[in-house]
Amino acid sequence: TNTVSKEEGLDHTLSLLKEGYDFIPNRVRKFDSKIVETRILGKKTICISGKDAAEIFYDTNRFKRKGVAPGRIQKSLFGEGGVQGLDGEEHRHRKAMFMSLMSSECLKVLDEITEKQWQIAIDKWKSMDAVVLFEEAEEIMCRIACSWAGVPLWAKDLELRTMDLSAMIDAFGAVGPRHWEGRRARTRTERWISYMIRQVRTGKIAADEDTALYQIAWHEDPKGNLLDIKTAAVELINILRPIVAIGRFITFGAVALHENPEKRNKVFTDEAGYRQMFVQEVRRYYPFGPFLGALVREKFTWKGYEFKKRTLVLLDIYGTNHSPELWEYPDIFWPERFSEWDGSPFNFIPQGGGEYDIGHRCAGEGITVQIMNTSLKYLSGKIDYDVPLQDLNYSKLRIPSIPKSRFIMKNVRHV
C-alpha cells in the first residue's frame, strides 16, 4: 500500500486555528493529494477531501461517530449523549424520531410561522434607525424555533435565549472567551430546556403531539425507556440551536443580494426556481461548517492508503464545496450553476452528505432551505433598505465565520 502524504512536525493544532476553513484545502493543494495525514490535538488525523472522500466517509460500515467530538465541543456546541455521537441501531432509532418531525405537514406549519415572524420583525424594523441583520435574524429564528418546537418563550427571555443559542454556535472553533461563553450558554440552556421536558412529563405543559417538545419528551429508546432528562434536553436543543444558526446563512444571503444587485429581482420573483438556486449557492459559497470527524471502525484500504482502526478522519466540507474538480469557477458566486447540478448526495455537502436516515446527514437540511427561501423573499423584494458603508468582509480564519459588520441596514421600508 501507499503511504499517506504526511505532514512533518509534532502537532498542527495551532495551524488549524490559524488557517481556519483552509486548513484541509491548503494541505490538499500542498501535497497534491486528497488524503493527507497530520496531527491535531496530539492525535494522528487523516484529512480527506472531495466527492469520493464524502462517499467513503458516509459508509457506516467503515466509520463510527462515538467518541469523536472532543470534550470541549461537547461542553459547548453539541452537548453530551446526543444523536451526533450515536452509531448503528441506536442512531437509526433516534434519527427516525428527528426525521419524523420533518414531515410535509410539519414543514407547512413551520412556513406559516416563518412568514408571520418576518412580518412582525419588519413592522418593528420600520421604526428603527439602524438594523443589524445578523442579530435580528437570530432573534427571528429563535422565535420561529421555539414556536415551531412548542417551547414556551416569554418576550422578556427572548434576548437571553437567543444569545445563548447563538453563543453555542459561535463557540465552535474558538479558544478562550468565546469558548467559555459557549459553555455557560449551554449550561443555562440545558437547565431551561430540562425544566420544559419535566413540565411536559408531569403534565404541567400540554404540548401538541406533533411538536419537537412532545416527541422528544416522550421518545422511547429501543428498549422502551424514556430518555433521561438531560439527554432529552440535549436533543431538543439540537432542534432549537441549529434553527438559530440559519441566521448566519440569512446574513450571508443578504450580503450576496447586496453584492449582486442584478440578481435581486429574479430572487424575489423566483423566476424559473431562481430563489432556490440562490439559496443553494449561498450554502455552497459561504463558509459555515469547515469539516466533520469520524473514527475508523476496522482497518481498511482505500485508494491504496491504509486507514488503521480508531484513526480520526476529517472530511473537508468547505474544500469539497469549493473544489475546482467539482465546481466550475468555485470561488465565484453563481447561482445558475445549480440548474445543472446532478443532485449527488456527495458533491454538495454544506450540511453533510449521504442519507438522512442511515447516516448522520443534517436532519434539518430541508428546514434550512425552506426558511432561507422565505427569508430571502422578504429581503429581496418585500422590503427595501439602504446599506450604509460598512465592512462586509468575513474572515476564513474565524470558525464559524460572519461578516464583520453583521450587515447593517437603514431606512427599512415596505415595498
Binding site for ligand HEM (CB under 6 A): 83-84, 95, 98, 238-239, 242-243, 245-246, 249, 288-289, 292, 350-352, 360-364, 367-368
Give 38 or 84: the residue with its C-beta nearer to ligand HEM. 84
Name the minimum Å distance from CB 180 to ligand HEM. 23
Q: In the complex with ligand HEM, which residue's Cβ is closer, 57 or 378?
A: 57
Closest separation in Å from C-beta 399 to ligand HEM: 12
The Cα 17–Cα 13 span in angstroms is: 6
What's the rounded Cα separation, in Å, for the pair 285 and 252?
A: 9
Radius of gyration of the chain (CA): 21
Nearer Cβ to ligand HEM (124/366):
366
Nearest approach, Cβ of 123 to ligand HEM (angstroms)? 25
Residue count (the chain): 415
Of 5 and 22, the one with the shorter C-beta distance to ligand HEM is: 22
Minimum Å distance from CB 203 to ligand HEM?
Answer: 26
253 or 364: CB nearest ligand HEM: 364
Please state the closest distance from residue 142 (CB atom) to ligand HEM, in A.
12
In angstroms, what is the minimal distance from the CB of 83 to ligand HEM?
A: 4
Sorted by sequence, the CB contacts under 8 Å of residue 294 that are 6+ apart come out as 57, 63, 64, 65, 68, 312, 313, 315
Shortest-Cβ-distance residue relative to ligand HEM:
364
Q: Shortest distance, CB of residue 11 to ligand HEM, whole angstroms? A: 25
CB nearer to ligand HEM: pick between 114 and 368: 368
205 torsion bin: left (phi>0), alpha (psi -120 to 50), beta (else): beta
With 0-12 / 13-18 / 19 or more C-beta atoms within 10 angstroms meaning exposed / middle / buried, residue 270 is middle
**Given the complex with ligand HEM, which of 36 and 349 has the nearer CB atom?**
349
Between the two ends of the chain, the Cα-to-Cα distance in Å is 64
Q: How far apart are CA 368 and CA 242, in angstroms?
A: 9
Contact 66, 94 (CB under 8 A): no
**Helices vs strands, H then E, count in the chain:** 15, 11
292: which strand partners? 315
